[in-house]
Structure 1
Amino acid sequence: MAENLTEKLVKAQSIDFVENFGNSITSLLTMLGVQRKFPMAAGSVIKTYKSKVTLQNGEVAKGEIIPLSKVEMEEAEPIELAYSKHRKAVAVEDIQKYGFARAIAMTDEKLVRELQKEVRGNFFAQLGKGTTAVDGEGLQGALAQAWGNVQTKFEDDGAITIAFVNPMDASDYLAKANITIQNEFGLNYVENFLGVNIVIITPQVKAKTVYATAAENLCFAYPIVNGGEIAKAGFDFTTDETGIIGITHAINKERLTAETTTLSGGALFAERLDGIIKVTIKAAATPSV
């Protein structure tokens, strides 16, 4: 009977883990306004794009034919959707010290945080590859430039602008204004901040830099880890309804550890690199006396 209780407890912890991670991913995508979510096979190659503009001479004489400028969409650096595999173990000494359920739950929570960091880190690395660079005076001027350029790049009326700033650049404004800071997926964000729909405040963005893009430019792709050939192999992954992450618990008697193994691979990315606006924050010009 005790063995069955242990199995039920581990199963319940697995369900809690995947639901916690799945809900946090869902909340992140909702906050960013991501509408395009693609379940794909592991190993799939995701294409991203950038634009190339060949601008013709605009000095045209009266009555002459205006030459055509050319705008092309080129493939940028592709993203390969790969599985991310992680494993952690809790020693029998810690199980004895904290109790089985608590020891597993404590370490599972830390593992969730590290998996979140992995998704965030890959996304911010891609933001740094954006190809549209402009300047703005102070944070307010930088966000204004970000908003304006996003609206220009994405011509649909009312494109939702998502901006990313360093905490030190936002601190003066946050100290002086009555602003509610919210948190999703380990990211602090503010809604409707200085004219921008969502401003995410994170040290993963360099100081004096703002990144921005449109919500419609953001996508989330992931390899499904439940069902199919994986289920046939008998890995016994527990997943939530999204299938974004799978988890399994096992006892390693040779090492006297309780082990947790996860399988995931979600990629949050911007489809158009030219749709990522990088704004350098410049000091406001000092008026001459």
Structure 2
Amino acid sequence: MAKPEKLTEKLGTANAIVVTNKFGDSLKGLLDALGVHRQFPMRVGDRIQVYKTVATIDGAPVEKGDIIPLSEVKVEPAEAKELTYQKARKAVAFEDVQKYGIERAITMTDAALIKEVQKKIKADIFTNIKAAQKTAEGVGLQGALAQGWGNVQTIFEDDGAEVVAFVNPLDVADYLGNASVTMQKEFGLNYLTNFLGADVAIVTPQVEKGVAYVTAVENLIFGYADLQNGEAAREFNLITDETGIVGIRREQTGDRLTSETTVVASGVLTAERLDGIVKVTIKAAVTA
């Protein structure tokens, strides 16, 4: 009897494809949720230039009718964000595959490895967001996000900016005591849509309690190395998802009898203008 044409036999590879797609779909879901349309394939080592404003004010008193001295405002390059590879590798021994089975020994540990890679990419996001140059304050989470929304609209006045906010879950929990909302999740991050004036609110403990960071979606840039079409990916037999952001290589070693998984990912989400990020302090309401 003839063997079926499309029989799945290479179970290790098939599983790697599933894990890769989950990671790529998750990251793509986050970018879609944020509304980030400025996504650029780059070469590793390339940099995204970030800018900050520096104002020097002449503080001398001005007499009535005198000429007001000019103050200097400059837009200067801040620390550039360099695109790098996030790499991780693990090995599972033959004995453990035999003892625990493929699902526990390989699939579950692959997922844990990818989760650690995710953490590094997410850490870069919040490092940049916390470099906000503008400050504001508002009473309660609703008042704070309203102030953030207003400041962002002022900064990006020609754009009719869509607003993204980053808030601590404890501040959201305080607000949810009096409201009902539906939380969604992508890339290991909880988020809310159309929340208190923000088109998207990312809820994360990476942001300290009592503070919210707000910026325009148009201010966010995502740069990545395309692992799907590169020569190196083909040479090392990387399995990639359709985004090309993450690649996985799985192989068996004969001399050690281990199954090894290597994960390679690249991606940096950054704000182009630090003066386009507003750090808003959440003040407590004054009680009688």
Deviation at 1:53, TM superposition (A): 3.1
Any idea what SS the aligned residue of 1:158 has? Answer: coil
Query: Distance in 2 between the 1:96 and 1:202 partners?
Result: 39
Which residue does the alignment assign to 1:225? 227
- Is 2:14 the partner of 1:12? yes
**More displaced stretch, 271-280 vs 49-58:** 49-58
Work out whether residues 87 and 117 of structure 2, in 8 Å CA contact, stay in contact via their aligned partners in 1: no
The Cα of 1:227 is off from its aligned counterpart by 3.5
Map of 2:250 onto structure 1: 249
- Which deviations, in whole Å up to 9, do the C-alpha atoms of 1:96-127 show, x marking residues without a partner? 23322553221122222222211111111111
Superposition pairs of residues 130-279 of structure 1, within 5 angstroms: 130-231=132-233, 234-279=235-280
CA contact (8 A) 2:250 2:262 kept: yes
> Hey, what does 1:21 align to over in structure 2?
23
Q: Residue type matched to 2:206 in 1?
A: Q
Q: Which amino acid aligns with 2:77?
A: E
1: CA distance between counterparts of 2:241 and 2:63?
Answer: 62
Q: Amino acid of the residue matched to residue 272 of structure 1?
A: R
- Tell me the CA shift for residue 92 of structure 1: 2.3
Alignment partners' CA distance in 1, 2:81 and 2:273 = 12
Give the Å deviation of 1:283. Answer: 2.2
The 5 Å alignment of 1:106-125 reads 106-125=108-127
SS at match of 1:198: strand
What percentage of residue pairs aligned between the two structures are identical? 53
- Report what 1:100 is aligned to: 102
Q: Of the candidates 71, 74, 80, which is equivalent to residue 72 of structure 1?
A: 74
Aligned-pair distance for 1:209? 1.0
Counterparts of 1:43-62 in structure 2, within 5 Å, are 43-55=45-57
Q: Tell me, yes or no, if structure 1 residue 41 matches structure 2 residue 40.
A: no
Deviations 1:42-72 (A, max 9, x none): 111221011223456796856x777655543
Q: Residue type of the partner of 1:89?
A: A
Corresponding letter in the other structure for 2:284: A
Deviation of the 1:7 alpha carbon: 6.6
C-alpha distance in structure 1 between counterparts of 2:284 and 2:136, whole Å = 14
1:201-256 Cα deviation digits (max 9, x unpaired): 11111111111111011111111223344146x21111122211111101123333
Show structure 2 runs of 5+ residues with no match.
none
Helix, strand or coil for the counterpart of 1:207?
Answer: coil
Cα distance between partner residues in 2 of 1:128 and 1:83: 23
Deviates more, 1:157-166 or 1:31-40: 157-166
Letter in 1 for 2:37: Q
Describe the shift of the 1:224–1:157 C-alpha distance in structure 2 as closer, same or farther (beyond 3 A).
Answer: closer
Q: 1:19 to 1:170 in 2, by over 3 A?
A: same
- Seen in structure 2, the aligned counterparts of structure 1 residues 112 and 56 have a Cα distance that, compared at 3 Å, is same
The aligned residue for residue 283 of structure 1 is 284
Q: CA deviation at 1:286?
A: 4.2
C-alpha displacement at 1:195, in angstroms?
A: 2.0
Q: What's the TM-score once normalised by structure 1's chain length? A: 0.88
CA offsets 1:128-175 (integer angstroms, 9 cap, x no match): 211112222222221111111111111135311111111111112213
- Distance in 2 between residues matched to 1:231 and 1:212, nearest whole Å: 37
| 158-167 or 26-35, larger mean C-alpha shift | 158-167
Cα pair 2:167 2:211 within 8 Å, conserved: yes
CA distance in 2, matches of 1:72, 1:96: 64
Alignment-mate amino acid for residue 194 of structure 2: N
Displacement, 1:77? Answer: 0.8
Distance in 1 separating the partners of 2:198 and 2:25:
25
